Amino acid sequence: MLIVIIVVFMIASWAVSTRLKNKFKKYSQVTLGSGLSGREIAELMLRDNGIYDVSVTSVEGKLTDHYNPANKTVNLSSDVYNGRSAAAAAVAAHECGHAVQHVKAYRWLEFRSAMVPVQNVSAKIINFVFIAMFIGAFGLNMLGTSTALLVITGCYSVFTLFAFVTLPVEYDASNRALAWIQDRNIVDDREHKMAKDALNAAASTYLVAALGALATLLYYVMIFLGSRD
């Protein structure tokens, strides 16, 4: 059953990731009428929101764009940083949306940030449990089955909560981005539709990840409840 869940969501993840890459490639070929680059758009959005302590940098890779609240940087892939397309505008504004969330103390972002260390500890714990169970398969029982399943269920509860908390954070950043690039006349109506389509494709990757985490959690919950019968 677990293998089926993994395979199904691996295929779904591949499908949405491929869709995102294709849309980004397509909309990267549409030059903005405003002629602004991703870097210029990001810097302008930050200034418009009264944010002057966040820098915009270029990072390697494709679709590696992210906002780092620790050092207050909006990190854009080279295609976005230098790009002057609908796709670049969408991604640059989206990442700045996270910076706006940060400065406005958006509650879901704060909750997500608070969960990061818990998520990291849970990942270490579950790795230990899987290793212990592997050793137990050779007759060296380090953990009882019920205890191991309880710990695994607890860890996946954290993973699932983190994945679902990520959803409002990402959707809100996109909504802020789309509203701003339209109000600021960064894009025209046609380009705005492209930007929205690209960001919706990106959001679908987070949705699939959240559903995958939930499906895995439910699987382990059923196994745990079954082990107690």
Q: What is the pLDDT of residues 197-212, one digit of tens each?
A: 999 999 999 999 999 9
At CA 163, angle to CA 214 and CA 103, rounded to 5? 160
**Count of beta carbons in the 10 Å neighbourhood of residue 130:** 12
The string of DSSP codes covering the chain is -HHHHHHHHHHHHHHHHHHHHHHHHHHTTSB-SS---HHHHHHHHHHHTT--S-EEEEESSSS--EEETTTTEEEEEHHHHS--BHHHHHHHHHHHHHHHHHHTT-HHHHHHHHHHHHHHHHHHHHHHHHHHHHHHTTT--SS-HHHHHHHHHHHHHHHHHHHHHHHHHHHHHHHHHHHHHHHTTSS-HHHHHHHHHHHHHHHHHHHHHHHHHHHHHHHHHHHHHHHT-
> Per-residue confidence at 139, pLDDT binned at 50, 70, 90?
very low
CB 96 within 8 A of CB 175: no
**pLDDT score of 45:** 98
For the sheet with 73-77, list strands across it: 55-59, 73-77, 66-68
Mean pLDDT, the chain, integer: 91
Point out the least confidently predicted range of 5-14, 24-33, 80-89, 142-151: 142-151
pLDDT above 70 as % of the chain = 93
> Per-residue confidence at 142, pLDDT binned at 50, 70, 90?
low
| Active site residues per annotation | 95
**pLDDT score of 164:** 98
**pLDDT score of 136:** 62
**pLDDT score of 9:** 84
pLDDT above 90 as % of the chain = 79
Say yes or no to pLDDT of 140 above 50: no
Digit-coded pLDDT (tens) for 122-137? 999 999 888 877 776 5
What residue has token string 């060296």?
Answer: 140
**pLDDT score of 46:** 98
> Per-residue confidence at 138, pLDDT binned at 50, 70, 90?
very low
Q: Higher model confidence: residue 180 or residue 63?
A: 180
